[in-house]
Structure 1
């Protein structure tokens, strides 16, 4: 069983957050949610409506939080997931998030990013030379961060698995679970 840290915050996208938590638990793994504080976070629902040029955002459910970022010891985790929504936009500036995310990238541990989630490693300079998916309007941001952008539902680059957003979660989850489970096999 792997312990996987999920980094989120208020305005994280509901499906991007809850789907991986439940999928990890369904797979027999432990999903631990971390946020700026230990209070439950308020999720949002993003949808694509025909009369809008951009997605819409509505209030979603709350998600219980297990740890504040400052209390996370990344040594105790086997993988990391960064859901999308607006949360990555502001959690990427948190020094504890930087400490945590660098730990996983430096050790080649499984990292899953969904939708806007790649904004976090991009801001830390961790996507240089990597291949990633992201919400398609972030293509330029990913390229400016030094990444090759791929518009696909399950982009695997070593131990990093990324996707465009919640419609890709079935494909992303299969790919991430495969990377996570292969990382658990003793060498």
Structure 2
């Protein structure tokens, strides 16, 4: 059984956040949710509606939080997932988020990013030389961070698995679970 850390905050996209939690648990793994504080985070629902140039946002469910960022010892976890939505915009500036995310990248542990999730490692300089998917309007941001942007549903770059957003969650989840299970299988 692996222990995976879900790094999130208010205004994270509901499906990006909850789908991985449920998929990890379904696979027999532990999903631990972390956010700026231990207060349950307020998720949002992003959708694409005719007549809109951008996605729409509506209030979603709340997601219970297990630990505040400051309480996380990354040594206790085998993998990291960063959901999309608006949370990555502001959590990427948190020094504890930098400490946590850098730990996983430095050790080559599985990292899953969904939609706007790559904004966090991009802001920390961790995508330089990597290949990533992200919400397509972030293409230029990913390239400026030194990454190669790929517009695909399940981009695997070593231990990092990324996708464009919640419509990609089934193929992203299959790819992430394969990377996770391979990394936690001991001879």
Shorter-chain TM-score range: over 0.9
- Alpha-carbon deviation of 1:185? 1.2
Counterpart of 2:10 in 1: which secondary structure?
coil
For the pair 1:167 / 2:136, whether they are aligned, the reply is no
Distance across 2 between alignment mates of 1:51 and 1:16: 24
**Residue equivalent to 1:75:** 75
Counterpart of 1:141 in 2: which secondary structure?
helix
For the pair 1:10 / 2:10, whether they are aligned, the reply is yes
**Residue equivalent to 1:62:** 62
- Alpha-carbon deviation of 1:120? 0.1
- Alpha-carbon deviation of 1:51? 1.0
- Alpha-carbon deviation of 1:148? 0.0
Distance across 2 between alignment mates of 1:107 and 1:114: 20
For the pair 1:181 / 2:181, whether they are aligned, the reply is yes
TM-score normalised by structure 1 residue count: 1.00
**Residue equivalent to 2:37:** 37
1:131-155 deviation per Cα after TM superposition (whole angstroms, max 9, x unaligned): 0000000000000000000000000
Give RMSD over aligned pairs: 0.4
Distance across 2 between alignment mates of 1:15 and 1:135: 14
Contiguous gaps of at least 5 residues in structure 2: none
1:109-163 deviation per Cα after TM superposition (whole angstroms, max 9, x unaligned): 0000000000000000000000000000000000000000000000000000000
Counterpart of 2:88 in 1: which secondary structure?
helix
**Residue equivalent to 1:127:** 127
- Alpha-carbon deviation of 1:186? 1.3
Contiguous gaps of at least 5 residues in structure 1: none
Write out aligned runs for 1:90-169 (5 A).
90-169=90-169
Distance across 1 between alignment mates of 2:101 and 2:26: 24
Q: How many residues align?
A: 187
1:159-181 deviation per Cα after TM superposition (whole angstroms, max 9, x unaligned): 00000000000000000000000
Distance across 1 between alignment mates of 2:51 and 2:26: 37
Greater than 3 Å deviation, 4+ residue runs: none
